[in-house]
Amino acid sequence: MTPGWALLAGVLVAAGLVAVVAGVRRSTPGLRAALERVDGADGVVEVDGEAAPPGSRSERWGALLQRHTPVGLTGRQRRALRLQDKSVAEFYADKLVMAVIGAVLPALLGSGLSWALLGHVSAVPALAAVLGGVLGFFVPDLLLLRSATGTRTSALEALLVYVDLVTLERLANASAPQALVRAAGLSQVPLFVQIRTALERATLEQQSPYAELRRLAETLDLPELADIADVMQLDETGAALSGTLRARVRELRDAHLTAEQIRASADAEGMTIYMTLPAMAFGLILLTAALLQIVLG
Protein backbone atom coordinates (compact mmCIF):
# COMPACT_ATOMS: atom_id res chain seq x y z
CA MET A 1 0.00 0.00 0.00
CA THR A 2 1.34 3.42 -0.96
CA PRO A 3 1.89 6.03 1.80
CA GLY A 4 -0.94 8.18 0.42
CA TRP A 5 -3.52 5.41 0.66
CA ALA A 6 -2.21 4.45 4.09
CA LEU A 7 -2.56 8.03 5.32
CA LEU A 8 -6.05 8.34 3.87
CA ALA A 9 -7.12 5.02 5.40
CA GLY A 10 -5.74 6.10 8.78
CA VAL A 11 -7.62 9.40 8.62
CA LEU A 12 -10.89 7.63 7.75
CA VAL A 13 -10.46 5.04 10.51
CA ALA A 14 -9.65 7.74 13.08
CA ALA A 15 -12.66 9.81 11.98
CA GLY A 16 -14.89 6.74 12.26
CA LEU A 17 -13.66 5.96 15.76
CA VAL A 18 -14.20 9.57 16.85
CA ALA A 19 -17.73 9.52 15.39
CA VAL A 20 -18.57 6.23 17.17
CA VAL A 21 -17.26 7.48 20.51
CA ALA A 22 -19.07 10.81 20.14
CA GLY A 23 -22.32 9.05 19.29
CA VAL A 24 -22.15 6.53 22.13
CA ARG A 25 -20.92 8.93 24.81
CA ARG A 26 -23.68 10.34 26.98
CA SER A 27 -23.62 14.12 26.71
CA THR A 28 -24.19 16.28 29.78
CA PRO A 29 -26.93 18.86 29.21
CA GLY A 30 -26.04 22.46 29.89
CA LEU A 31 -27.99 23.71 32.90
CA ARG A 32 -28.00 27.31 31.77
CA ALA A 33 -29.24 26.48 28.27
CA ALA A 34 -31.94 24.19 29.68
CA LEU A 35 -33.19 26.88 32.07
CA GLU A 36 -33.21 29.51 29.33
CA ARG A 37 -35.21 27.17 27.10
CA VAL A 38 -37.76 26.38 29.83
CA ASP A 39 -38.01 29.89 31.23
CA GLY A 40 -37.15 32.68 28.80
CA ALA A 41 -36.48 36.29 29.59
CA ASP A 42 -40.20 37.13 29.59
CA GLY A 43 -41.22 34.03 31.53
CA VAL A 44 -42.47 32.17 28.48
CA VAL A 45 -41.38 28.98 26.82
CA GLU A 46 -38.88 29.61 24.07
CA VAL A 47 -39.93 28.07 20.79
CA ASP A 48 -37.68 28.52 17.78
CA GLY A 49 -35.93 26.58 15.10
CA GLU A 50 -33.40 25.19 17.59
CA ALA A 51 -35.90 23.95 20.14
CA ALA A 52 -38.19 22.33 17.56
CA PRO A 53 -37.72 18.58 17.22
CA PRO A 54 -36.02 17.58 13.95
CA GLY A 55 -38.31 15.92 11.47
CA SER A 56 -36.46 14.49 8.48
CA ARG A 57 -33.42 12.24 8.57
CA SER A 58 -31.15 15.05 7.37
CA GLU A 59 -32.36 17.29 10.20
CA ARG A 60 -31.63 14.53 12.71
CA TRP A 61 -28.07 14.32 11.40
CA GLY A 62 -27.88 18.10 11.56
CA ALA A 63 -29.10 18.11 15.18
CA LEU A 64 -26.46 15.49 16.04
CA LEU A 65 -23.75 17.64 14.45
CA GLN A 66 -25.05 20.71 16.28
CA ARG A 67 -24.78 18.99 19.66
CA HIS A 68 -21.18 17.93 19.11
CA THR A 69 -19.69 20.77 17.08
CA PRO A 70 -17.59 23.36 18.94
CA VAL A 71 -18.65 26.12 16.52
CA GLY A 72 -21.92 27.76 17.54
CA LEU A 73 -24.20 30.24 15.80
CA THR A 74 -24.21 33.96 16.36
CA GLY A 75 -27.32 35.98 17.12
CA ARG A 76 -27.25 37.45 13.63
CA GLN A 77 -27.22 33.99 12.08
CA ARG A 78 -30.14 32.87 14.24
CA ARG A 79 -32.18 35.93 13.22
CA ALA A 80 -31.45 35.28 9.55
CA LEU A 81 -32.53 31.65 9.91
CA ARG A 82 -35.78 32.64 11.61
CA LEU A 83 -36.53 35.18 8.89
CA GLN A 84 -36.05 32.37 6.36
CA ASP A 85 -38.17 29.99 8.49
CA LYS A 86 -35.24 27.57 8.53
CA SER A 87 -34.42 25.44 11.55
CA VAL A 88 -30.95 25.29 13.09
CA ALA A 89 -30.91 21.51 12.55
CA GLU A 90 -31.55 21.99 8.83
CA PHE A 91 -28.77 24.57 8.67
CA TYR A 92 -26.31 22.15 10.29
CA ALA A 93 -27.49 19.45 7.89
CA ASP A 94 -26.46 21.76 5.04
CA LYS A 95 -23.08 22.23 6.71
CA LEU A 96 -22.67 18.46 6.97
CA VAL A 97 -23.53 17.92 3.30
CA MET A 98 -21.18 20.67 2.15
CA ALA A 99 -18.39 19.31 4.37
CA VAL A 100 -18.79 15.82 2.87
CA ILE A 101 -18.81 17.20 -0.67
CA GLY A 102 -15.80 19.39 0.10
CA ALA A 103 -13.90 16.38 1.44
CA VAL A 104 -14.83 13.81 -1.23
CA LEU A 105 -14.40 15.84 -4.43
CA PRO A 106 -10.81 17.05 -3.80
CA ALA A 107 -9.81 13.56 -2.65
CA LEU A 108 -11.16 11.89 -5.80
CA LEU A 109 -9.81 14.56 -8.13
CA GLY A 110 -6.40 14.63 -6.44
CA SER A 111 -6.13 10.83 -6.45
CA GLY A 112 -6.96 10.67 -10.16
CA LEU A 113 -4.44 13.38 -11.05
CA SER A 114 -1.74 11.82 -8.88
CA TRP A 115 -2.28 8.41 -10.46
CA ALA A 116 -2.29 9.88 -13.96
CA LEU A 117 0.76 12.10 -13.54
CA LEU A 118 2.91 10.26 -10.99
CA GLY A 119 1.78 6.66 -11.38
CA HIS A 120 0.87 6.43 -7.67
CA VAL A 121 -1.30 8.20 -5.14
CA SER A 122 0.49 10.69 -2.89
CA ALA A 123 -0.50 12.17 0.46
CA VAL A 124 -1.70 15.41 -1.14
CA PRO A 125 -5.30 14.18 -1.81
CA ALA A 126 -5.72 13.32 1.89
CA LEU A 127 -4.64 16.80 2.94
CA ALA A 128 -6.88 18.32 0.27
CA ALA A 129 -9.81 16.27 1.60
CA VAL A 130 -9.29 17.60 5.12
CA LEU A 131 -8.96 21.19 3.90
CA GLY A 132 -11.96 20.84 1.59
CA GLY A 133 -14.07 19.41 4.40
CA VAL A 134 -13.25 22.36 6.67
CA LEU A 135 -13.98 24.88 3.94
CA GLY A 136 -17.21 23.13 3.00
CA PHE A 137 -18.33 23.23 6.63
CA PHE A 138 -18.26 27.04 6.56
CA VAL A 139 -19.80 27.50 3.09
CA PRO A 140 -23.40 27.70 4.46
CA ASP A 141 -22.25 30.42 6.87
CA LEU A 142 -20.94 32.49 3.96
CA LEU A 143 -24.13 31.93 1.96
CA LEU A 144 -26.25 32.93 4.96
CA LEU A 145 -24.17 36.07 5.49
CA ARG A 146 -24.46 36.96 1.81
CA SER A 147 -28.25 36.58 1.80
CA ALA A 148 -28.80 38.41 5.13
CA THR A 149 -29.51 41.80 3.51
CA GLY A 150 -31.89 40.35 0.94
CA THR A 151 -33.66 38.32 3.62
CA ARG A 152 -34.26 41.38 5.77
CA THR A 153 -35.51 43.35 2.75
CA SER A 154 -37.95 40.56 1.90
CA ALA A 155 -39.13 40.46 5.52
CA LEU A 156 -39.75 44.23 5.52
CA GLU A 157 -41.70 44.01 2.28
CA ALA A 158 -43.76 41.14 3.72
CA LEU A 159 -44.42 43.27 6.81
CA LEU A 160 -45.76 46.10 4.64
CA VAL A 161 -48.13 43.68 2.95
CA TYR A 162 -49.15 42.35 6.37
CA VAL A 163 -50.04 45.86 7.55
CA ASP A 164 -52.18 46.37 4.44
CA LEU A 165 -54.03 43.14 5.20
CA VAL A 166 -54.53 44.17 8.83
CA THR A 167 -55.95 47.50 7.63
CA LEU A 168 -58.41 45.69 5.35
CA GLU A 169 -59.49 43.47 8.24
CA ARG A 170 -60.05 46.55 10.39
CA LEU A 171 -62.16 48.12 7.64
CA ALA A 172 -64.23 44.92 7.74
CA ASN A 173 -65.09 45.73 11.41
CA ALA A 174 -62.71 43.16 12.92
CA SER A 175 -61.15 43.90 16.29
CA ALA A 176 -57.42 44.54 16.56
CA PRO A 177 -56.52 41.01 17.80
CA GLN A 178 -58.81 39.42 15.22
CA ALA A 179 -57.30 41.54 12.43
CA LEU A 180 -53.78 40.51 13.44
CA VAL A 181 -54.64 36.80 13.51
CA ARG A 182 -56.66 36.76 10.29
CA ALA A 183 -54.06 38.69 8.33
CA ALA A 184 -51.25 36.41 9.55
CA GLY A 185 -53.13 33.34 8.31
CA LEU A 186 -53.35 34.53 4.70
CA SER A 187 -49.83 33.60 3.62
CA GLN A 188 -47.05 31.08 4.23
CA VAL A 189 -44.26 33.65 3.91
CA PRO A 190 -41.69 33.09 6.72
CA LEU A 191 -42.52 36.39 8.46
CA PHE A 192 -46.24 35.57 8.38
CA VAL A 193 -45.46 32.17 9.89
CA GLN A 194 -43.41 33.78 12.67
CA ILE A 195 -46.17 36.29 13.44
CA ARG A 196 -48.83 33.59 13.38
CA THR A 197 -46.78 31.44 15.77
CA ALA A 198 -46.28 34.38 18.12
CA LEU A 199 -50.00 35.21 18.14
CA GLU A 200 -50.94 31.58 18.77
CA ARG A 201 -48.49 31.46 21.67
CA ALA A 202 -50.01 34.62 23.14
CA THR A 203 -53.50 33.12 22.80
CA LEU A 204 -52.52 29.88 24.51
CA GLU A 205 -50.85 31.77 27.34
CA GLN A 206 -53.81 34.19 27.55
CA GLN A 207 -51.46 37.14 27.15
CA SER A 208 -51.72 40.33 25.17
CA PRO A 209 -50.64 39.81 21.53
CA TYR A 210 -48.89 43.17 21.42
CA ALA A 211 -46.21 42.23 23.94
CA GLU A 212 -45.55 39.02 22.01
CA LEU A 213 -45.20 40.98 18.77
CA ARG A 214 -42.71 43.33 20.42
CA ARG A 215 -40.75 40.35 21.67
CA LEU A 216 -40.74 38.88 18.15
CA ALA A 217 -39.61 42.23 16.73
CA GLU A 218 -36.69 42.27 19.17
CA THR A 219 -35.79 38.67 18.32
CA LEU A 220 -35.86 39.29 14.56
CA ASP A 221 -34.27 42.75 14.87
CA LEU A 222 -37.29 44.19 13.06
CA PRO A 223 -38.29 47.39 14.89
CA GLU A 224 -40.98 48.16 12.31
CA LEU A 225 -43.02 45.27 13.71
CA ALA A 226 -42.84 46.79 17.19
CA ASP A 227 -44.16 50.07 15.74
CA ILE A 228 -47.13 48.23 14.27
CA ALA A 229 -47.78 46.58 17.65
CA ASP A 230 -47.76 50.02 19.31
CA VAL A 231 -50.26 51.33 16.76
CA MET A 232 -52.55 48.32 17.16
CA GLN A 233 -52.51 48.66 20.93
CA LEU A 234 -54.23 52.04 20.52
CA ASP A 235 -57.39 50.02 19.91
CA GLU A 236 -57.63 49.53 23.68
CA THR A 237 -58.05 53.30 24.09
CA GLY A 238 -60.82 53.46 21.48
CA ALA A 239 -58.74 55.25 18.85
CA ALA A 240 -59.45 54.82 15.14
CA LEU A 241 -56.71 52.63 13.68
CA SER A 242 -57.37 52.58 9.93
CA GLY A 243 -56.02 56.07 9.22
CA THR A 244 -53.11 55.62 11.63
CA LEU A 245 -52.13 52.30 10.04
CA ARG A 246 -52.26 53.70 6.53
CA ALA A 247 -50.14 56.68 7.55
CA ARG A 248 -47.59 54.44 9.26
CA VAL A 249 -47.33 52.01 6.34
CA ARG A 250 -46.89 54.99 4.00
CA GLU A 251 -43.97 56.18 6.13
CA LEU A 252 -42.44 52.71 6.16
CA ARG A 253 -42.77 52.39 2.38
CA ASP A 254 -41.16 55.79 1.82
CA ALA A 255 -38.26 54.87 4.13
CA HIS A 256 -37.87 51.48 2.41
CA LEU A 257 -37.92 53.08 -1.04
CA THR A 258 -35.31 55.64 0.01
CA ALA A 259 -33.03 52.92 1.39
CA GLU A 260 -33.39 50.88 -1.82
CA GLN A 261 -32.58 53.93 -3.96
CA ILE A 262 -29.47 54.66 -1.89
CA ARG A 263 -28.31 51.07 -2.20
CA ALA A 264 -28.99 51.04 -5.96
CA SER A 265 -26.99 54.27 -6.37
CA ALA A 266 -24.10 52.77 -4.40
CA ASP A 267 -24.17 49.64 -6.57
CA ALA A 268 -24.21 51.75 -9.75
CA GLU A 269 -21.25 53.81 -8.54
CA GLY A 270 -19.38 50.62 -7.70
CA MET A 271 -19.82 49.40 -11.28
CA THR A 272 -18.13 52.45 -12.83
CA ILE A 273 -14.70 50.94 -12.24
CA TYR A 274 -15.61 48.01 -14.49
CA MET A 275 -16.76 50.46 -17.18
CA THR A 276 -13.40 52.27 -17.18
CA LEU A 277 -11.27 49.13 -17.45
CA PRO A 278 -11.85 48.59 -21.23
CA ALA A 279 -11.01 52.27 -21.93
CA MET A 280 -7.84 51.97 -19.87
CA ALA A 281 -6.87 48.78 -21.73
CA PHE A 282 -7.34 50.41 -25.18
CA GLY A 283 -5.44 53.51 -24.05
CA LEU A 284 -2.59 51.36 -22.79
CA ILE A 285 -2.45 49.54 -26.14
CA LEU A 286 -2.26 52.81 -28.07
CA LEU A 287 0.36 54.29 -25.75
CA THR A 288 2.45 51.12 -25.88
CA ALA A 289 2.55 51.20 -29.69
CA ALA A 290 3.57 54.90 -29.73
CA LEU A 291 6.26 54.38 -27.06
CA LEU A 292 7.71 51.39 -28.91
CA GLN A 293 7.86 53.42 -32.12
CA ILE A 294 9.71 56.27 -30.34
CA VAL A 295 12.16 53.94 -28.58
CA LEU A 296 12.90 51.77 -31.59
CA GLY A 297 12.87 54.66 -34.06
pLDDT in tens, 28-42: 555 555 555 554 433
Cα 245 → chain centroid? 30
Domain ranges of the chain: 152-260
In whole angstroms, give the CA distance from residue 185 to residue 192: 7
Stated pTM of the model? 0.65
35/45 Cα distance (integer angstroms): 10
- What pLDDT is stored for residue 40 in this prediction? 43
Contact 248, 228 (CB under 8 A): yes
Q: How many residues does the chain have?
A: 297
Q: How far apart are CA 144 and CA 140, in angstroms?
A: 6
To the nearest 10 degrees (0 to 180), the angle between helices 223-233 and 209-220 is 170
Q: Compute the Cα dihedral for 104, 110, 116, 121 and give only its sign.
A: negative
DSSP 276-289: HHHHHHHHHHHHHH
Note the pLDDT of residue 44. 36
Per-residue pLDDT of the chain (297 residues; tens, 9 = 90+): 555 555 566 666 666 666 656 655 555 555 555 555 554 433 333 444 444 555 677 777 777 777 777 777 888 888 888 888 888 888 888 888 888 888 888 878 877 777 777 666 667 777 888 888 888 888 888 888 888 888 888 888 899 899 889 888 888 888 888 889 999 988 888 899 999 999 999 999 888 899 999 999 998 888 888 888 888 888 766 666 777 777 877 888 888 788 778 877 777 777 777 777 777 777 788 788 777 777 776
pLDDT, position 215: 92
Q: How far apart are CA 263 and CA 248, in angstroms?
A: 23
